[in-house]
Chain A
Amino acid sequence: MGAWDQRENYVREGKPSYLDERRFTQVGRSVPRIDGPAKAKGESIYTADMVLPNMVYGKIKRCKEYAHAKIKKIDCSKALALPGVLAVLTGDEAPNKWGIVPASANETALAVDKVRFYGEGVAAVAAIDEETAEAACDLIEVEYEPLPVLLDPFESMARASEVIIHENAPDNIMHKGDQIYGDVDKAFEKCEYILEREFKTGRPQQCYIEPMSAVASYDTQNGLLRLWASSQVPHYLHRQMSIVLEMPMSKIRVTLPTVGGGFGGKGEAASSEFVACLLSRKLGMPVKVTYDRDEVFFTSKGRHPCYMKWKIGLDKDGYIQAVDFDNTLDKGAYAGWGVVVMFYTASMVHLPYKVPNARTHVRNVYTNKPTTGAMRGLGGVQPRFAMECMLDELAEMMGISPYELKMKNAIESGYTAINNMYTPHTEYKKCLQTAVEKSGYLEKHGKLPFGKGIGLAGGYYITGTAYTLYQSYKPHTSVTIKVDTEGGVTVLCAAAEIGQGCNTVMAQMAAEALGVHYEDVHVQTGDTEIGSFDLGSFASRLTYGSGYAIREAAKEINEKLKAMAGGVLGCRADQLIIKDRKIYSMFEPKFTIDWATVVQKYVNSVGALIATGHFSPPRRKGIDIITGNRVQGANIGHSPTFGFSCQVHEVDVDVETGRVYVKKVTEAGDCGTAVNPMSVDGQVEGSIVFNMGAALYEEMKFDANGKHLNPNFHDYKCPTFMEMPDMDTNIVESYDPTAPFGVKETGEGAVQPTFPAITNAIYDAIGVRFYEVPITPEMILKALKEKKEKEAGCGCGCS
């Protein structure tokens, strides 16, 4: 237990404000976002808006005949003969494999020899306009030899002797792993309550509003390549581009214009980006490739469907003793984030409840469907769904409230899980308590009329990863702060603002650390040449990572300014405080000077102030803490700290039509210090609606040949404004003393409880438990019918 556990009250009495590092003035302000006005006015420039002089347009020819086929021949002659066509490109021209995890990288810019999913790109065209490029694509003739199509992971494993998707995966398994901690079988023997269940999750995708777009410009004179792209990971994109184009990274510059959302879907490179660069290098002209919505669906790297078997055992008092978890994931066609997502599902067993014995078997299986990848809350959503539903069921077995069971098992600050995952700080119990109290859960649960229900679930998520995706232990984020008399304060970091609000919170944290105001700070992100290094926007890592680096950089600048101010004021520098655009003595108020005056003096006498701070996450071994043995993949899931969320959903089920209406959601989240509470509310509300869609209707559908049936927003249903529930989101008082400014994540923790909270609420409403999402109206009606038949009895008197 850490020292912070004993303290209930975060405003520490008796500590003077100037010595209290937690009395923030800029952090904690609900300031409007930096990118807000331009977006509201429609003035933001997205990649697809860009037009460069002499720019031409690229388009990708996609395989719409088969989901799995050998490419026998590609004939581009007719396309090349079309007036206005400048170049064509085929996969064999750039065969180097790319992928965000180097060990499993197996994608190519365009298909080489084989297509593995419906809609995969087989060739590309550059032409004077998009229309001509599209017409040229139609003229490319491709000869295929169809192969059997494997759409289901179990079928894929079973038929591996007959047909394989990748040469190096003879069993059609992309990767698998076993993690064993403690003695699970022995623990189960002692359990009073044991529950075994199987769960299945659907195949939603991210549905960012802005489709992928890339503008590439290769200069044949100096051999420099510029790429503007709609990406979450400029660094990884940069790296992959270097591999595929066989160019040093120093000759490539990646820039992000405004990005219209990602949610993980832009968390790896895209074919559009390679094609734009390759065509531009071929032509020496700028090339733009923008996807249509169906291309986004064809290539989208949505959430892995999971087929899970679970066994959870409790002792007679309700304490979890053992968890046995078996997971088969549907990988789709290529590896992508596969290894990472797979081991995350395994790591999710260990929080936010104490699990002393655990065993997981996981495997990620190739199928002829679009590659699955990183989607908001990756690897967490599926196991969380199962675990929180099972705890609800176990509580019922015990005859206690799910709230009581969860409180009993919830972890506390300073907890080390059996896989050596360390949680420096948590207010999870406070989340449970707040959501339960504010929603009236205990008064309503089990007592509402038939058709109305209330459900509780919790969850957590990482605040950044402990490791890069390639073998390197360099800092994950570096931030350079420049202070001068012309630009004022400028923060430079190659981070990706994708709409999540990182630029705004970086400005707030920099203002706090430098003792100026949010409005004084400029933020330059999204450029690999201008900004200092950053890994990218994924794993909810940026507030923590950049916050740490900002604090380090600011420390250096503050010391220089204090020395200068001390000289001017005639007092000791180490007794000076910088706050609210002033530098003053903590003891004698008469020693006060404007911050800007000191900056001016410093610049005039020394020059501009520039400092860079770095953030490296703490390293921990992935081991079984009892035996000390290394466990494969067990370091995946470790994080500097974790965010927590609890949700109570109230639903109305129309028992005649099967429609489920989420009426009210009460959420309480532990995001550490809320740097911008308004943004936190936005993230949390967005998270809830995001997974409400995937819980009830969002699903990519395929026919028996792997063809997409709903690659559009007409038939792929996202929630609309009409489906918005009444939201009561609460930020619980929290401060992680190990974190910069006390921060944690908030963008992905709040997606975790949504599936199980809705599912538990449906059970409370109609007495039917579902083990599969999305829970469609048809499923509800079918289940109600079965329940009715069961209640009526089979007529044999067996009851």
Chain B
Amino acid sequence: MFMNQFEYFAPKTPGEAFELMGRLGSKARILAGGTELVILMKDRIIRPECLIDINNIEEFKGIKYEPGKGMVIGATTKIADIQYSEIVKRKYYALADAAGEIGSSQVRHMGTIGGNSCNASPSAETPTPLVAYGATVVVSSATGEREMPLEEFIQGVRMIDLKEGELLTKFKLPEPSPKLVGRYAYMGARDANEIDFVNMAVTLELEDDKQTVKSVKLVMGSVFIKPLISTAVTALLTGQKFSDELAAKAAEATQGEAKPITDVRASAEYRHEIVGVLARRLLKEAFGAAQEV
């Protein structure tokens, strides 16, 4: 229930943050929203000596969209800001949708998009649509920056590609094609404050005939150690005329790709079933939406 004693730092600039990180090394943990970190500390799973609160660093937050170039989202941008952002809803609908499904309103106003990825929980909501939109992350340190796809940044359960002295500072989302639609879906026991059994995002674009799939990408969450991109869906649907049969076939293929586990929330068998159902429904929903664009 009670956290250990720790020293608290609140740098105002990236330089100050990197200096602190360099000086404190592994003694320090980064505090963003705290909705995961503080729980781990209260449960005494981690006992960091220092916390570096990066919320006061303006450079690390905010949503910036430049037509034709895409969007940059700062790592400490609140989940609620993404949920309610008009431009996110318009350009990256599935991301706004997923953001709105995280925890409770209180959690969404505290939690950050960077934290949702850095926590690297397989059931996290936002990494799934972010990967579907082809997001990359920018990892910064005193010496420079690295950029990599989010699915490479997240390496496994609670494992991320962050070296000592490095911080996740922003997400870059490529400009979506004007005809690209994105959809998100999840399954849990209830519809609020839920930790998903399975979640899923699809991006899909149709040719001018409104029937043929020009591009499609399906990403699954909570069925593998990290967001799982379906190669089968892309292979089966790309260049094909969309049909319910094809969607069913593609959905079946995702079941072969998913590697869910059994835990207190759901069994592997059930998750396996749900992957197929969500994939089929989501593909059809995305197709319907893409026809309307």
In the complex, which residues of chain A have a beta carbon less than 8 angstroms from the beta carbon of B1?
A: 130, 134, 292
- Contact yes or no, B270 A717, CB < 8 A: no
Contact of A131 with B2 at beta-carbon distance under 8 Å, contacts A709-B264, A720-B193, A722-B191 already known: yes
- Pick the contact of B192: A131, A709, A721 (CB < 8 A): A721
In whole angstroms, what is the CA distance A696 to B189 when docked? 9
Contact with B along A691-721 (1 / 0, CB 8 A): 0000011000100000001100111010111
Contact of A778 with B195 at beta-carbon distance under 8 Å, contacts A130-B2, A697-B190 already known: no
B30 sits at the interface (CB 8 A): no
- State the Cβ distance, A564 to closest chain B Cβ, in Å: 59
B273 sits at the interface (CB 8 A): yes
Range, interface on chain B: 10 to 19
A198 sits at the interface (CB 8 A): no
A777 sits at the interface (CB 8 A): yes
B274 sits at the interface (CB 8 A): yes
B277 sits at the interface (CB 8 A): yes
**Which label, helix, strand, loop or mixed, suits the secondary structure of the B interface?**
loop
- Contact yes or no, B192 A722, CB < 8 A: yes
Most chain B beta carbons < 10 A, residue from A292, A656, A701: A656
A194 sits at the interface (CB 8 A): no
- Contact yes or no, A701 B264, CB < 8 A: yes
- Contact yes or no, A723 B191, CB < 8 A: yes
Contact with B along A495-525 (1 / 0, CB 8 A): 0000000000000000000000000000000
- Contact yes or no, B277 A723, CB < 8 A: no
Contact with B along A114-139 (1 / 0, CB 8 A): 00000000000000001100110000
Contact of A715 with B265 at beta-carbon distance under 8 Å, contacts A130-B2, A721-B192 already known: yes
In the complex, which residues of chain A have a beta carbon less than 8 angstroms from the beta carbon of B273?
A: 657, 781
- Contact yes or no, B192 A134, CB < 8 A: no
B261 sits at the interface (CB 8 A): no
- Pick the contact of A720: B191, B195, B266, B274 (CB < 8 A): B191
B63 sits at the interface (CB 8 A): no
In whole angstroms, what is the CA distance A656 to B270 when docked? 11
In whole angstroms, what is the CA distance A709 to B262 when docked? 13
In whole angstroms, what is the CA distance A714 to B190 when docked? 11
Which residues of chain A in 649-664 are interfacial with respect to chain B, using CB atoms and an 8 Å cutoff? 656-659
B267 sits at the interface (CB 8 A): yes
B187 sits at the interface (CB 8 A): yes
In the complex, which residues of chain B have a beta carbon less than 8 angstroms from the beta carbon of A659?
A: 187
Contact with B along A757-781 (1 / 0, CB 8 A): 0000000000000000000111001
Most chain B beta carbons < 10 A, residue from A657, A713, A721, A781: A657
- Contact yes or no, A657 B190, CB < 8 A: no
In whole angstroms, what is the CA distance A713 to B104 when docked? 12
In the complex, which residues of chain B have a beta carbon less than 8 angstroms from the beta carbon of A130?
A: 1-2
In the complex, which residues of chain B have a beta carbon less than 8 angstroms from the beta carbon of A131?
A: 2
Q: Which residue from chain B places its CB closest to the CB of A138 in the assembled complex? A: B44
Q: Which residue from chain B places its CB closest to the CB of A713 in the assembled complex? A: B193
- Pick the contact of B277: A656, A722, A778 (CB < 8 A): A656
- Contact yes or no, B195 A715, CB < 8 A: yes
- Contact yes or no, B190 A720, CB < 8 A: yes
In the complex, which residues of chain A have a beta carbon less than 8 angstroms from the beta carbon of B187?
A: 657, 659
In the complex, which residues of chain A have a beta carbon less than 8 angstroms from the beta carbon of B281?
A: 656
- Contact yes or no, A657 B277, CB < 8 A: yes
Contact with B along A606-636 (1 / 0, CB 8 A): 0000000000000000000000000000000
- State the Cβ distance, B288 to closest chain A Cβ, in Å: 17
In the complex, which residues of chain B have a beta carbon less than 8 angstroms from the beta carbon of A777?
A: 189, 270
- State the Cβ distance, A9 to closest chain B Cβ, in Å: 45
- State the Cβ distance, B187 to closest chain A Cβ, in Å: 6
Contact with A along B185-199 (1 / 0, CB 8 A): 001011111010000
- Pick the contact of A710: B193, B264, B266, B267 (CB < 8 A): B264
Contact of A720 with B192 at beta-carbon distance under 8 Å, contacts A715-B264, A778-B266, A778-B270 already known: yes
In the complex, which residues of chain A have a beta carbon less than 8 angstroms from the beta carbon of B277?
A: 656-657
- Pick the contact of B190: A135, A701, A719, A781 (CB < 8 A): A719
Which residues of chain A in 742-763 are interfacial with respect to chain B, using CB atoms and an 8 Å cutoff? none
Most chain A beta carbons < 10 A, residue from B190, B191, B281: B190
Q: Which residue from chain B places its CB closest to the CB of A774 in the assembled complex? A: B189
In the complex, which residues of chain A have a beta carbon less than 8 angstroms from the beta carbon of B193?
A: 713-714, 720
- State the Cβ distance, B130 to closest chain A Cβ, in Å: 23
Contact of A778 with B190 at beta-carbon distance under 8 Å, contacts A131-B2, A134-B2, A657-B277 already known: no
In the complex, which residues of chain B have a beta carbon less than 8 angstroms from the beta carbon of A722?
A: 190-192
Contact with B along A284-320 (1 / 0, CB 8 A): 0000000010000000000000000000000000000
- Contact yes or no, A714 B189, CB < 8 A: no
In the complex, which residues of chain B have a beta carbon less than 8 angstroms from the beta carbon of A709?
A: 264
Most chain B beta carbons < 10 A, residue from A130, A696, A701, A778: A778
In the complex, which residues of chain A have a beta carbon less than 8 angstroms from the beta carbon of B269?
A: 778
New A-B pairs, 8, CB < 8 Å, besides A131-B2, A709-B264, A723-B192: A134-B1, A657-B187, A697-B190, A715-B265, A721-B192, A723-B190, A777-B270, A781-B273
Would you mind naming 7 contact pairs between A and B with Cβ atoms under 8 Å apart? Answer: A656-B281, A657-B187, A657-B273, A659-B187, A722-B191, A723-B192, A781-B270
